[in-house]
Structure 1
Amino acid sequence: MDVTVIWAAIIALGLFMYIVLDGFDLGVGMIFPFFPDEAERDMMMHSIAPVWDGNETWLVLGGAALFAAFPLVYSTVLSALYLPIVFMLVCLIFRGVSFEIRGKANRTKNLWNLAFICGSAGAAFFQGVILGAYLHGIPVKDGAFAGDPFFWVTPFSFFTGMGLMVTYALQGATYLVMKMDGDIQARLHDLVWPLTLTLLGFMIAVSIWTPLTDAQVASRWFESAFRYRLYPVPLLVALAAALMYRAVKRNLDVAPFVFCNVLVLLGYIGLLISIWPYAIPNSVTLWDAASPHTSQVFALVGAVVIIPVIVVYTTAGYWVFRGKVAPGSQYH
């Protein structure tokens, strides 16, 4: 088997797990403004407090794997997107600090609520900006970034930034539907379908915008030999949206979160198909960016050990803290 493709799959898995797991806890922060009652906010914070920091392990895994398997991509992407990455990290810092201080603050509690909201929204937005800039292509010359430090400031990048904010907000709302009960759950259900429609709008817009501005993406979706295998993707998106509508109307607990992440998965598959086989779209292929074969094999041994460990402790954490959050719960 091609070790380069295996590493690409590991990185793709790590990023998807990050989007699913850290996406919903960032989303909780973004729907905070819809729930001004502090007791309800305490419950929302408590629902993610035991797991939020462990969720970010997958982002660390993806970054470490990128450094080990595709050092050219690591150096180029970090150089090109240094500013939005720093902005994202600053937002994550404020958000992380708000977890520790908000539960103990009295006079400054509103300030830390604001830090949690803005940190969550900012991190989601800049992650989307990074995605949009990456999809549109990074200028590369002689194996190094060759563009302007503000090349990422484009309408498409800002659009994908807002799209990822909506995605995370929907994940947060559906996760809280699972964890809450009673009146707060009913109001969360009221948010799910409007957010789903908004996400579908962003997915359709990106699906149209990308092939119109990138001939290679258009060729892959509409002219390649395997294009007929891609056509079920939009149909599956429509089916997942219909099942989401049904789940919301029936006030189901778990199903909305499942169908939300099915939509995320289908959108993610579409993005992977659009950039294949490039490590940097339209510039550097996976094999051109790969580290030496022996280095990839050596690092793969470590990945075979580490990934199951991450899966086990992540699963254990969610199992221990399963079930509904009781009223009056607070994060200490």
Structure 2
Amino acid sequence: MTLDLVPLWACILSLAVLMYVLLDGFDLGVGMLFFFRRHDEDRDLMVASVAPIWDFNETWLVLGSGGLLAVFPLAFSIIMPAVYFPILLMLLGLLFRGVAFEFRDVPRARKHVWNTAFAWGSLIATFSQGVVLGNFIRGFPVNGRIYAGTSWDWIAPFPLLTGVGLIVGYCLLGATWLVMKTEGDLQEWARRMARWLLLGLLAFILMVSVWTPLEEPRIAERWFSFPNLLYFAPVPILTLVIAATLWHALSTKRDMLPFLCAMGLFFLSYTGLIISLWPYVAPPSITLWDAATAPMSQQFLMVGTMFLLPVILLYVFWSYWVFRGKVRGDIGYH
């Protein structure tokens, strides 16, 4: 009897996507906050807070996209034509952001140019990711095993809404990260920004939560049929509890708790997404099992992944532990 590895692969790829959103999300948010904080000293601190760990965060993006291609090639062949241009824009945004990281502190560099590239690269990458998310929720028209839409189907109200919503969400992660990593005036400014961004994120969560069941009957049935209504009720309830905790933590000048709560909001939103779409990897018609490669290929790939994944996780925990604490312009971390 062949062991079914599809659920395990789904968990691994889901973990990769979640880790990317949580870890690269806050440094993309820090980049977008450049639009609102223009003091050179503060911008240097903002960059210094993420400089030791920003590039490694994107390892999860490589793992998620590479795993999708290797393990669920049919889904990859359907999803990529639908979101080709958002993916292209995302990669260009990440490229500009990465180059700006390296060149903004080069002697005689035009720092304002690289600061602009850093901010706009972060914005474009985040918006593109939100558009991809919106298209994934809407689903992909399929004829047989081939994508039946066009490469411009992403230009629609719902994907554009989720693109803006993800901008607000990543900015909240970035603001709470700065609350945790900085001190003084920059920290107080980040607290004020986080309050407004929290209200904005809750508004987008509400809009998406209302829009999706109205537009997609399969999602409405999943959430509001009995007894699913009882099983899944903790997700919205916990969202409200964590949002209230985040607001209180900002008001009482806590440093770490706001960032943890912001990550909790993303985790619950991601949980809601999985509840809505399971077991489809290219909704509304292609399931994980439909798109999976041959069992032998899954087993072969799993061997390497079981060695690689613990190493990645250990490095993540180690690097964040090493660079814990506040960052200051004169001595770096302390």
TM-score range, shorter chain: over 0.9
Q: Give the secondary-structure state (helix, strand or coil) at the position aligned to 1:253.
A: coil
List per-residue Cα deviations over 1:153-180 (Å, max 9, x = no partner). 1010000000001110000011111110
Q: What is the RMSD computed on CA atoms of the aligned residues?
A: 1.4
Aligned ranges 1:7-22 → 2 under 5 Å: 7-22=9-24
Tell me how far apart the structure 2 counterparts of residues 216 and 224 of structure 1 sit (CA, whole Å): 14
- Farther off after superposition, 99-108 or 181-190: 99-108
Q: Give 1:321 shift.
A: 1.3
Tell me how far apart the structure 2 counterparts of residues 106 and 84 of structure 1 sit (CA, whole Å): 34
Question: What residue in structure 2 maps to residue 263 of structure 1?
Answer: 265
**1:82 matched to 2:98:** no
Task: Please tell me whether the aligned partners of residues 81 and 150 of structure 2 are also in contact (alpha carbons under 8 angstroms).
Answer: no
Tell me how far apart the structure 1 counterparts of residues 298 and 109 of structure 2 sit (CA, whole Å): 53
Question: What residue in structure 2 maps to residue 196 of structure 1?
Answer: 198
Task: Please tell me whether the aligned partners of residues 210 and 217 of structure 1 are also in contact (alpha carbons under 8 angstroms).
Answer: yes
Question: What residue in structure 1 maps to residue 146 of structure 2?
Answer: 144
Tell me how far apart the structure 1 counterparts of residues 331 and 159 of structure 2 sit (CA, whole Å): 39
Tell me how far apart the structure 2 counterparts of residues 176 and 59 of structure 1 sit (CA, whole Å): 23
Q: Give the secondary-structure state (helix, strand or coil) at the position aligned to 1:279.
A: strand
Tell me how far apart the structure 2 counterparts of residues 106 and 142 of structure 1 sit (CA, whole Å): 57
* Structure 2: runs of 5 or more not aligned: none
Tell me how far apart the structure 2 counterparts of residues 118 and 330 of structure 1 sit (CA, whole Å): 26
Question: What residue in structure 2 maps to residue 240 of structure 1?
Answer: 242
2:316 to 314, 317, 325: 314
Tell me how far apart the structure 2 counterparts of residues 149 and 325 of structure 1 sit (CA, whole Å): 43
* Structure 1: runs of 5 or more not aligned: none
Q: Give 1:105 shift.
A: 5.3
1:118 to 117, 120, 136: 120
List per-residue Cα deviations over 1:257-277 (Å, max 9, x = no partner). 000011100100011111111
* 1:329–1:132 distance in 2 versus 1, CA, 3 Å: farther
Question: What residue in structure 1 maps to residue 188 of structure 2?
Answer: 186
- Farther off after superposition, 178-187 or 199-208: 178-187
- Farther off after superposition, 83-92 or 136-145: 136-145
List per-residue Cα deviations over 1:176-206 (Å, max 9, x = no partner). 1111011211111111111011000000100
Q: Give 1:319 shift.
A: 1.5
2:286 to 284, 287, 300: 284
2:211 to 209, 212, 218: 209
Amino acid at match of 1:109: K
Task: Please tell me whether the aligned partners of residues 27 and 168 of structure 1 are also in contact (alpha carbons under 8 angstroms).
Answer: yes
Task: Please tell me whether the aligned partners of residues 46 and 329 of structure 1 are also in contact (alpha carbons under 8 angstroms).
Answer: no
1:58 to 51, 57, 60: 60
* Greater RCO, CA 8 A, separation 6+: 1
Task: Please tell me whether the aligned partners of residues 29 and 120 of structure 1 are also in contact (alpha carbons under 8 angstroms).
Answer: yes
Tell me how far apart the structure 2 counterparts of residues 306 and 327 of structure 1 sit (CA, whole Å): 35
Tell me how far apart the structure 1 counterparts of residues 300 and 109 of structure 2 sit (CA, whole Å): 53
Q: Give the secondary-structure state (helix, strand or coil) at the position aligned to 1:31.
A: helix
List per-residue Cα deviations over 1:99-150 (Å, max 9, x = no partner). 0111125462111111000000110000000110111011211212111110
Task: Please tell me whether the aligned partners of residues 24 and 175 of structure 1 are also in contact (alpha carbons under 8 angstroms).
Answer: yes
Amino acid at match of 1:135: I
Q: Give 1:330 shift.
A: 7.5
Tell me how far apart the structure 2 counterparts of residues 138 and 101 of structure 1 sit (CA, whole Å): 40
Task: Please tell me whether the aligned partners of residues 69 and 291 of structure 1 are also in contact (alpha carbons under 8 angstroms).
Answer: yes
Tell me how far apart the structure 2 counterparts of residues 270 and 49 of structure 1 sit (CA, whole Å): 32
Amino acid at match of 2:165: G
Tell me how far apart the structure 1 counterparts of residues 228 and 294 of structure 2 sit (CA, whole Å): 30
Tell me how far apart the structure 2 counterparts of residues 224 and 104 of structure 1 sit (CA, whole Å): 61
Work out the number of aligned pairs and report it.
331
Amino acid at match of 1:62: G
Identity of aligned residues (%): 47
Amino acid at match of 1:309: V
Stretches of 4+ aligned residues off by more than 3 angstroms: 328-331
Tell me how far apart the structure 2 counterparts of residues 70 and 327 of structure 1 sit (CA, whole Å): 46
Task: Please tell me whether the aligned partners of residues 103 and 109 of structure 2 are also in contact (alpha carbons under 8 angstroms).
Answer: no
Q: Give the secondary-structure state (helix, strand or coil) at the position aligned to 2:199.
A: helix
TM-score by length of 1: 0.97
Amino acid at match of 2:142: V
Tell me how far apart the structure 2 counterparts of residues 85 and 328 of structure 1 sit (CA, whole Å): 38
Tell me how far apart the structure 1 counterparts of residues 331 and 112 of structure 2 sit (CA, whole Å): 18
List per-residue Cα deviations over 1:69-99 (Å, max 9, x = no partner). 1111112111221111001101111111000
Q: Give 1:254 shift.
A: 0.2
Q: Give 1:322 shift.
A: 1.3
Q: Give the secondary-structure state (helix, strand or coil) at the position aligned to 2:325.
A: coil
Question: What residue in structure 2 maps to residue 101 of structure 1?
Answer: 103
* 1:281–1:7 distance in 2 versus 1, CA, 3 Å: same
Q: Give the secondary-structure state (helix, strand or coil) at the position aligned to 2:281.
A: strand
